[in-house]
Structure 1
Amino acid sequence: MPMPTGSFSHQGPTCFDRMKTGFIIGFCVGMASGALLGGFSALRYGLRGRELINNVGKVMVQGGGTFGTFMAIGTGIRC
């Protein structure tokens, strides 16, 4: 009886999958650092209430997108 060919050939994640994972990890790290740095700077400027939330949210998304992009590029270079 012949052995099945596809059941034992385990392949790792593709390069695109690794880049997606790198982007997600970088996005999370960038969001966390954006929350800390953006929160402290907004409080230092005297923002309160809705202005504080809008400013911190904007800094979090910008930091997450930037750091996630660089992590994806770095992971793509390593592939």
Structure 2
Amino acid sequence: MNGVNLTAQDDRGCTPSHLAAAHGQSYTLQTILRSGMDANVSDKNDWEPVHYAAFHGRLGCLQLLIRWGATINDVDNNGNLP
């Protein structure tokens, strides 16, 4: 992705990979992962893209993240699993 800052964060610490996972944008998420973004990047609540995909019921994104090495055993600030 040319000219795009994939590590940019909003006020909650969400990156483009968090947002793609939350909105079910699996093609966009795959493009982000192919560019080298860490599948386990955390926001300010220690939510990773896998947490967003699971919370919003985005099965395709969840499967994609797991294939790219996302861990499903990481807990957030409240001790919740994805």
TM class, shorter-length: under 0.3
Structure of higher RCO (CA pairs closer than 8 Å, 6+ residues apart): 1
Between Structure 1 and Structure 2, whose CA radius of gyration is higher? 1
Higher helix content, 1 or 2: 1
